Structure 1
């Protein structure tokens, strides 16, 4: 048991070191200009070792996005079913956002993501995974309120909420000093209106 915990801690430390090193290179040189060989050399690992931790360069930047989807799902499950879908999603999203709290780091990653087509595509792929995780809960909320289990409303609500989050993120980058939560609320009001 102790050996397993040590291995897990060691693996996590190496993962974190590769991520930190890569992010420094991305911010210094640009995402597309930074190679896997450069990341491996700077982190002191082989190219082969790099691929034990990451499937692609994009996974370094967006790796946490997939795990955040699971956190949003857990947060959503904790919101009582009596809370309407849009409000429940907002509560779950911001609870997870509060855990990550570093807005400067989030802004740097967002600038990189929105400015790099391969990262943008990968983030959309990860958000599609979020939809799969969140739709069942929203479906239960709608059914509890008398909704039809075959109605596509749950999928539409989740997809719209994620799109609103994405649009709010883009606006947040364009408007220095803006509040991401307020931008999200404005986006959802426009969709729900």
Structure 2
């Protein structure tokens, strides 16, 4: 990587962080739905067109790069020994990328906004569906199911259930004012689900 490319990337990352910070302040001050892209762009001193060079949607500012996080979970899952069962392997992978802990920058107020705004929930579900497509092939292999056996719903059901447990754990964490441990809530949800099967 040459110096010019490195400088450009650093400038881009700095701009991304600044726009995110400005937008989050606006969201928390006046509400997510009340804040417009034009207002974010104007406050950040950029054009609307420039905004879309950094973010696909307003929701992406809050959710960060969940799609990229899914790739990290997939990579971590592939590192878990194949002898480990699907549920345990998924938990290890989620834990490896800190998906079972609340990021230090995520305040309760931000989490409430994430869980209380329909468009954010919808975008989050969309990105989690992408996670599902990334994780199912590994779970299929763990279960000894041929990669071309698309008629078997079990791998997708396990992955979708694990992601749902993670989402529900986050919701309960918010409802409890952030006092509980997210990993424990996930374990509780997953154990209850599996016990009922």
| TM surpasses 0.5 | yes
In structure 2, the partner of 1:192 is 194
Secondary structure of 1:45's counterpart equals coil
**Which string of whole-angstrom CA distances, capped at 9 and with x for unpartnered residues, describes residues 37-80 of structure 1?**
22112212111111111121111111321111111111111111
**Greater Cα offset, 114-123 or 150-159:** 150-159
* Correspondence 1:30-45 to 2 at 5 A: 30-45=31-46
Secondary structure of 1:97's counterpart equals coil
In structure 1, the partner of 2:55 is 54
Secondary structure of 2:97's counterpart equals helix
* Correspondence 1:39-188 to 2 at 5 A: 39-97=40-98, 102-103=103-104, 105=106, 107-143=108-144, 147=145, 150=149, 151-176=152-177, 177-188=179-190
Query: More helix by proportion, 1 or 2?
Result: 1
**Which string of whole-angstrom CA distances, capped at 9 and with x for unpartnered residues, describes residues 115-139 of structure 1?**
1111110000000000001001111
Change (3 A) 1:117 1:101: closer
Structure 1 distance, partners of 2:85, 2:107, is 28
Structure 2 distance, partners of 1:83, 1:106, is 34
Structure 2 distance, partners of 1:21, 1:113, is 17
**Which string of whole-angstrom CA distances, capped at 9 and with x for unpartnered residues, describes residues 139-189 of structure 1?**
11111xxx5653321111000000111111111111131111111111111
Change (3 A) 1:67 1:39: same
State the TM-score, normalized to the length of structure 2: 0.89
State the TM-score, normalized to the length of structure 1: 0.91
RMSD, aligned α-carbons: 1.8
Aligned-pair CA distance for 1:14: 0.8
Structure 2 distance, partners of 1:76, 1:153, is 17
Change (3 A) 1:62 1:35: same
Listed as ranges, the gaps of 5+ residues in structure 1 are none
The alignment covers a number of residue pairs equal to: 190
In structure 1, the partner of 2:13 is 12
